[in-house]
Amino acid sequence: NAGVTQTPKFQVLKTGQSMTLQCAQDMNHEYMSWYRQDPGMGLRLIHYSVGAGITDQGEVPNGYNVSRSTTEDFPLRLLSAAPSQTSVYFCASSYFTGDGGYTFGSGTRLTVV
């Protein structure tokens, strides 16, 4: 089925560990993005990309890195996990214009202890 695939679904990290959250889409969408969702704070944009080789920061980029080597994949790297990064992470993609709306992955629930 066409869509956005995120892995893993759940992850527990210790403070200071690093990890990569994977995101892949098969709809040939130019635009991909990463959000975190925290209670009472809605969705906050971490990083986004408008095409392969192009990435930019969102509103909460600190502690995260991204790259976009292909149209399909947009991994999110946590460099040194902190308890403040405990959250649910969503990857979303769309055509560049965005008027068709975004397609979201099912999310990764991350806990940093």
Cis peptide before 75 (omega within 30 of 0): no
Least Cα distance to 47 among 30, 38, 59 occurs for: 59
Q: Return the amino acid letter for 103.
A: T
Q: Is 61 in the site for another protein (CB under 8 A)?
A: no
Q: Beta partners for 90?
A: 35
> Judged by CB under 8 A, which of 21, 60, 92, 112 binds another protein?
92
The tokens of 33 are what?
Answer: 């993005």
d(CA 102, CA 28): 13
DSSP label at residue 67 = -
From 11-19, 21-29, 76-84, 101-109, span contacting another protein (CB under 8 A):
101-109
Q: Is 106 in the site for another protein (CB under 8 A)?
A: yes
Nearer Cβ to another protein (27/79): 27
> Judged by CB under 8 A, which of 18, 54, 98, 113 binds another protein?
98
From 11-19, 34-42, 61-69, 71-79, span contacting another protein (CB under 8 A):
34-42
> Judged by CB under 8 A, which of 47, 90, 110, 112 binds another protein?
90
Kindly determine how many residues on this chain lie close enough to bind another protein according to the rule CB under 8 A: 21
CA angle 37, 10, 74 (to 5 degrees): 65
